[in-house]
Amino acid sequence: MRFLLSEYVNLLKEDGELDTLITDLLVAMKCVTISKPQRGRQYGVDIAAEGIDVVDSKKKIFLFAVKQGNLTRSTWDGNINAVRSSLNQIRDSYIPISLPKTKSNLPIKIVVATNGVINQNVLVDWAQYINQNSTDDIEYDFWGTGELSAMLDEYLISEKLFPTEYQSLLRKTLAFLDLPDYNLSHFFDLLDLIFSKQFKQKRQIQKKLRLARLCLNILYKWSHDINNLKPAIYGSERTVLRSWHFLQSGNHLDKKFVSKEFYQIYLLKRAIGINYFNKVHKHYQTEHSLYRYSRNSLEYGLNLWHEIGIISEIGLSEIQQFKIYFREEKKEDSLVFYNSATSIANALCMFIANNPPAKYPNYDEHGIEIALALQLLCLTNNTETAKIWIRNLIVGYKETYHIQKTIPLFIADYDRLVDIINGDEKCNIDSSMIIPILAEHAIILEDADLYELIRKVVEDDVFKDLNLQIWFPTRKMEESIFKNNYSKVEGKLKHSVTLYKNLEEYRTEIISEVELYSVEKEFKVVENGFDNILFTASRHYRGQPFPYTWRKFIKLNTKANH
């Protein structure tokens, strides 16, 4: 946290930002401000306050000269606005003229506060000045980035760190965080506000990205404190997505410093995910582990599919890290991440096996979770578990209709789902995007018998009107992926998908469609090596999964077979 704070503090301007933050810090330290920042210094003083010094627990007057950046030769003693000149003014003019007489009996601490450090070649001058001008009643101190970050961490990890327009939204986020149904709307609005305006200057771009990362870290800390990391999971997803949209829409992706800043946000998201997994993974070994956290069997099923998506994305993030390190030829490090992904995938296998609702998706949009989970299982060599799960899913699809007269609702609607389960409404057999996903993964897994089982279920007379569909993205919708439910209003839909008797015929059709429709492979997020963000966007916004993410393996398998 202190590292994040120091990065943020380093980017603050002297007037209106750094001095305001120091004023808020003093208030948090229970100091009473005598004079606040204003245009033009008053005899070298930017801020004056009265309070207890945390160093020796004595009541003192604090007089601040606020400067921006490092204390260098030129800023120390170069002109009338230099630090030395300000200190002389404070000693010679402010203390005898402007300091209230009622405060004259208190010892004084004069503080030079900057968002930097004292350069090595100025340390001797600084030390000599202190030695020559310190008295029994006047002492000097330096608050640089390190000192400010430490005090901010201890006294002011709250909304006061931020500009006024952000404070209300962050305050509301933290106030509502422990409510079970809180949807983080204020945090999402805060991110929209942070990224609402584009900048060309490096400093401003860095400031926006670091501010977003700091907000996420505060959300993470508070989520940890209330023992519920799910808000941090959702917040990290939105932060990554909005950050990427900000960078792509502003044409910043080709700037070298940008990739470093974004990667820090991405790593924070990964850290939150790993922390969440470490906290809950033991529950995956217990049968019906989620039922105790659900009010009824329906909620049990919905919670389970939600959890499958979270686990899968955490595991796929580890796969992404593996790819990054492998590309950089850091093979030993890359194996650490692959082993981590394998451990998460193994836990997912246990979770699916121990919770029967994993055979019965409630909504057709649970194809999102199925696609993510199968991707992770296939990439970690859990192919047998993947085959068993696909078999259970397609058998469950048929059984659910014959027993309960229902199939996964094509449009998610909780009230309608309840009515159908209670027998108050009939379930229409209309469309399915889940079944093509299952069939195509059967092809990836080279299991002709499994493909045939899926095809025969679809051929059942009761499913003769079932319209199999698959969604494809278009080039023009690339930026909208990171802002909303992209597949709801954009993209192309292939309907009346046919599962041919000959598996190879379907494979050939897929390969030709990869060439024609798989535009996502040309998206900048993929070209920049962050294709995992497509999974994040799909799960977070409930957008359809991107077919190329699994279909590319069908093409690769074909090449391998020839």
- Domain limits of the chain? 2-157, 162-285, 359-562
pLDDT at 562: 47
pLDDT at 294: 83
Residues 290-321 pLDDT 10s: 888 888 899 999 999 999 999 999 999 999 99
Max CA separation in the chain (angstroms): 97
The residues pairing with 139 across neighbouring beta strands, listed in sequence order, are: 109
| Domain 2-157 is found in CATH 1.10.1740 | no
Highest mean pLDDT among 64-78, 97-111, 385-399: 385-399
What whole-number distance in Å separates Cα of residue 355 and Cα of residue 484?
Answer: 31
Is pLDDT of 492 > 90?
yes
Q: What pLDDT band is residue 53 in, cutting at 50, 70 and 90?
A: very high
* Residue (of 51, 1, 59, 58) closest to 22 by Cα position: 51
The residues pairing with 42 across neighbouring beta strands, listed in sequence order, are: 45
Mean pLDDT for the chain overall: 91
Amino acid at 59: K
pLDDT at 157: 60
Q: What is the mean predicted confidence (pLDDT) over 421-425?
A: 89
Q: What is the mean predicted confidence (pLDDT) over 80-91?
A: 91
Is pLDDT of 445 > 50?
yes
Question: Higher pLDDT residue, 231 or 559?
Answer: 231
Amino acid at 332: E
Residues 315-348 pLDDT 10s: 999 999 999 999 998 999 999 999 999 999 999 9
Q: What is the mean predicted confidence (pLDDT) over 148-161?
A: 76
Q: Are strands 138-143 and 108-114 parallel, antiparallel or unpaired?
A: parallel
Question: Higher pLDDT residue, 490 or 40?
Answer: 490
Q: What is the mean predicted confidence (pLDDT) over 267-279?
A: 96
Q: Are strands 59-67 and 108-114 parallel, antiparallel or unpaired?
A: parallel
Is pLDDT of 164 > 80?
no
Q: What is the mean predicted confidence (pLDDT) over 51-74?
A: 92
Is pLDDT of 504 > 70?
yes
What whole-number distance in Å separates Cα of residue 268 and Cα of residue 290?
Answer: 27
What whole-number distance in Å separates Cα of residue 390 and Cα of residue 437?
Answer: 10
Q: What pLDDT band is residue 191 in, cutting at 50, 70 and 90?
A: very high
pLDDT at 471: 96
pLDDT at 560: 55
- Helix axis angle for 202-225 and 164-176, nearest 10°, is 20
Helix, strand, or coil (residue 63): strand
Is pLDDT of 148 > 70?
yes
- Report yes or no: 523 and 350 within 8 Å, Cβ to Cβ: no
